Amino acid sequence: MSSRLPSSSPLLIAALLTAPLLTGACAVTEGPYPSLAPRPAEKLGFAEPPAPPPVAVVADPALDARIADNARERAAAVRGFDAGAARADRLVRAARGSKAGSDPWLNAQTAIAELDALRARHQDALGVLEDAAASRAQALQPAYPSLEAALVEARATSAAQTRRIDALAGSLAPA
């Protein structure tokens, strides 16, 4: 078995010999061709740039008044929810061990449904706060500290109310 090179091998050898000469000329900065040397932007690292300094928040008396009104509305909603939750808790305790569809069970289910409606009042007040925060973000305004604090408090209260309703509903016999 003999190994024969194809007839085009002299051309292949010539191309392989001249390729380094042709590509070596590209790295030179002189001449009409662009340099292949790293550009300044390519020498930069991938580290995060430093954060811009925080923007000073300008007081907004109208927003402060809306937040205060919202806090009063949320407090009233919480008082109503707590009263409804106490009533629902009594009815749920009375319905423990009752079959689904019995009068005590139906009374407890009704109280839980009323409790869900009472929670909606607080949810509405939370929605107003979230709309105000979204409006500020759309206007590219910085976060407003008292608005952010009210949002954190309202979201925590909303989550606690949901957990309380779920616990009451979970302690009843399934339908």
**End-to-end Cα, the chain, rounded Å:** 87
d(CA 67, CA 60): 11
pLDDT at 7: 57
pLDDT digits (tens, 9 = 90+) for 99-136: 888 999 999 999 999 999 999 999 999 999 999 999 99
Contact 162, 155 (CB under 8 A): no
pLDDT for residue 166 is more than 70: yes
d(CA 85, CA 92): 10
pLDDT at 55: 78
pLDDT at 48: 86
pLDDT for residue 30 is more than 70: no
